[in-house]
Amino acid sequence: HLRKGMSKFQGAEMDAMRERFVQGCMRPAPDGPAMTEPQARTLWEQVEPFAGYGFNQGHATAYADVSYRSAYVRAHWPAAFLCARLANWGGYHYASTYIAEARRLGITVRPPHVNYSRHEFALVQEADPAGEEMRPVLYMGLGQVRDLRQATVQAIIDERAGAPFAGLADLVQRVPLQAKELTHLIQCGALDGLGASRAALLDDATHASPSGMQQMTFAFVAQQVAAETAAQRLAWEQHILGQPVSVHPLDLVQAPAGCVALETVSARPRQAVQVLGIRLPGWTGGKGFFLADHSNYVIAIPPRSINNPAPWEPVRIWGRWLQDEWGSGWLQVERLEKVN
């Protein structure tokens, strides 16, 4: 409290604290140092100049404490740290940057799901494909689904507390959903695993009773429906979630010969390399843009003669990995072309 008052140069508060400080210093032991009044006032006069630089020290100390604690959690519990960061709507960078960091660390990120997601990002432990150990999985929040009402999000969370949803019919019988809400939930992947495919689930949803989604019936003849394409899933997710999640834009293009993975370029300083990646939305805090592939991302800095690509646009880049004297590296772009 004293530091805050001094650092903000609050005169009235300083005057009040001065008298409390002096009286406290004059208290006899063991409650105080039993100073005389002149000694106490002299000590105050020695402390008071702190107001001239106290803000900088106090500010730095507070942020150093937060930085240390954050770094510790980030190092020892990266999945939990990134989940909390994303649940707080990203912060300094766009959510897509933190998702790229999660993937760089080998953490799986999935679209929202009616059986696992909360309002924001959720961390779930799932068995790996071999069933040998548990691994962290980040699920996007239901609150990030376009046109999904908050009341619907809460209804889904409350209803599944009794039992997970077994399928599409089970969901619509237990939760009152508008037609657009159900469509968006299916298209973004929130019902993945509860039907043959998103396309099949959408086809099932068209048989809903017009009297209301909560009265949906499924008394129809099952038919084979072709699964949606990866390009369709990407378009749905980008429209409904604001970014692709289950499909990477690079999955839709043919990698040109000669391209190397981004995770290998730092081991080839100043060597000419070719890479394939997409530009992540947001800013780097400095020059250039974030360039990402399936498992890594780097800062790419083009010359002024080369325009930055559009977010999520696949590009082929020719360049070299450079580093400054502190070890920070970036991909210096020499040539850039779009990849279709």
CA distance 44 to 184: 65
Q: How far apart are CA 117 and CA 48, in angstroms?
A: 53
- 3-state DSSP percent of the chain in helix, strand and coil, to 5: 40, 15, 40
Encode the chain (340 residues) as per-residue pLDDT tens digits. Answer: 555 555 555 667 777 888 888 999 999 888 888 899 999 999 888 877 766 666 666 677 888 999 999 999 999 999 999 999 999 876 788 999 999 999 999 999 999 999 999 999 999 999 887 777 899 999 999 999 999 999 999 999 999 999 999 999 999 999 999 999 999 999 999 999 999 999 999 999 987 544 444 444 454 445 688 999 999 999 999 999 999 999 999 999 999 999 999 999 999 999 999 999 999 998 887 789 999 999 999 999 999 999 999 999 999 999 999 999 888 999 999 999 999 8
Q: Considering the entire predicted model, what is its pTM? A: 0.79
Beta strands in the chain (DSSP E): 108-110, 122-127, 134-139, 272-279, 289-292, 297-301, 314-323, 329-338
Residue-level pLDDT at 59: 73
Strand extents, DSSP E, 80-155: 108-110, 122-127, 134-139
Question: How many angstroms separate the CA atoms of 192 and 246, rounded?
Answer: 11
pLDDT at 63: 86
What pLDDT score was predicted for residue 4? 58
- Domains along the sequence of the chain with CATH: 2-55 (no CATH), 112-241 (no CATH), 262-338 (2.40.50.140)
Q: Is 122:116 a contact under the CB 8 Å cutoff?
A: yes
Segment (H or E) for 187: helix 179-188
